[in-house]
């Protein structure tokens, strides 16, 4: 496969990475980069997922890919490769970010997967020139590219000391959304995910939870729009329908006081009109 070179700022899809801390000077890639910016989600996690981890990774990757979301990951064993394959099975576009030069696919067992990604219209990407080998520190450096090229990341399963958590740290520093799939509190491989939720990451249980925040236009249209019980509730509903999710922005645009706004949200949640996404983010039911 031919190795191409591009300056990040020269491609509409990769321009987003020019704004991160320590941006790559150039990117090497095999295959085809999306020509325009498209909703993109990085799905990452443990290299040794449980049956639960495999199931939820496949579900999120498949459902998001079927809606036209680009799925991005690191071609590693476990969650990464599961996400890539589920995206391909859904007929979607997936991109893999490597921690070494593209003259060698790492891990070697994923050479066919890399070829499948390229054949399906996706790309294998690296900031490293050919002949640069994979090293532990380069995987950590690579993680900033994984989050930097995405609009959001999803962590489906990760232990308390998982290297995946460095991707979450980069994402937060870059202003990207961090979504986490909750896990069994007795499972060591869910400890990292559950800890991130306690720190403010957004818990998700369906792909719609992700789309509601990063790409509401991709959601299936609602046939019946809810009406509020009073003027303020109607304002909040209208703001949510416009794509606003953050509580502080909703309050500011509604013109209500903090106490009145909080009471209104509580009543709307009790009535089943809205639901909390976590991190003071809200959406319509």
Distance CA 78, CA 46 (A): 6
Contacts of 153 (CB under 8 A, 6+ apart): 41, 42, 43, 44, 146, 147, 167, 168, 171, 176, 177, 178, 179
- The kind and range of the H/E element at 239 are helix 231-241
- Asked whether the predicted pLDDT for residue 202 surpasses 90, the reply is yes
DSSP states of 53-103: HHHHHHHHHHHHHHTTPEEEE---TTHHHHHHHHHHHTT--EEEE-SS-TT
In Å, how far from its chain's centre is CA 23?
A: 19
For the ranges 74-78, 181-185, 242-246, the lowest mean pLDDT is seen at: 242-246
User: What are the Cα distances from residue 124, in Å, to 110, 174, 198, 202, 239?
Assistant: 12, 22, 34, 29, 39
SS3 285: coil
Give the up-direction half-sphere exposure of residue 275: CA atoms within 13 A in the CB hemisphere.
10
Distance CA 174, CA 144 (A): 9
Among candidate residues 109, 104, 97, 95, the one with its CA nearest the CA of residue 133: 104
Distance CA 150, CA 146 (A): 7
């990452």: which residue's tokens?
A: 44
Q: Which residues pair with 282 in a beta bridge?
A: 276
Sign of CA dihedral 195, 189, 204, 219: positive
The mean pLDDT value of the chain amounts to 93
pLDDT digit string (tens) for 110-150? Answer: 999 999 999 999 999 999 999 999 999 999 999 999 999 99
For the ranges 54-63, 92-101, 118-127, 240-249, the lowest mean pLDDT is seen at: 240-249
Cβ neighbour number for residue 35 with a 10 Å cutoff: 9
In the chain, at which residue ranges do the beta strands (DSSP E only) sit? 4-6, 27-31, 40-44, 70-73, 94-97, 123-126, 152-155, 177-180, 202-203, 274-278, 281-284
Residue 224 binned pLDDT confidence (cut-offs 50, 70, 90): very low
């Amino acid at each position: 496969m031919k190795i191409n070179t591009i300056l990040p700022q020269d491609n509409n899809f990769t321009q987003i990475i020019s704004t991160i801390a320590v941006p790559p000077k150039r990117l090497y890639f095999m295959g085809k980069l999306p020509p325009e910016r498209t909703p993109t989600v990085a799905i990452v996690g443990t290299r040794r997922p449980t049956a639960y981890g495999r199931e939820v990774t496949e579900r999120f990757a498949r459902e998001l890919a079927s809606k036209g979301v680009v799925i991005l990951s690191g071609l590693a064993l476990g969650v990464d490769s599961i996400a890539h394959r589920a995206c391909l099975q859904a007929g979607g576009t997936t991109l893999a970010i490597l921690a070494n030069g593209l003259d060698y696919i790492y891990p070697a067992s994923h050479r066919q997967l890399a070829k499948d990604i390229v054949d399906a219209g996706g790309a294998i990407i690296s900031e490293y020139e050919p002949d640069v080998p994979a090293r532990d520190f380069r995987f950590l450096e690579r993680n900033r590219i994984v989050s930097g090229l995405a609009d959001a990341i999803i962590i489906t399963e990760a232990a308390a000391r998982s290297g995946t958590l460095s991707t979450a740290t980069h994402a937060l520093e870059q202003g990207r959304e961090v979504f986490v799939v909750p896990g069994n509190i007795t499972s060591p491989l869910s400890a990292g995910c559950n800890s991130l939720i306690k720190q403010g990451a957004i818990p998700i249980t369906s792909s719609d939870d992700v789309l509601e925040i990063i790409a509401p236009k991709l959601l299936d249209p609602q046939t019946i729009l809810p009406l509020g019980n009073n003027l303020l509730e109607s304002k909040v509903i209208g703001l949510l329908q416009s794509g606003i999710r953050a509580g502080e922005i909703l309050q500011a645009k509604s013109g209500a006081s903090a106490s009145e706004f909080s009471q209104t949200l509580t009543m709307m949640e009790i009535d089943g009109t809205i639901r909390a996404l976590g991190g003071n983010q809200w959406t319509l039911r």
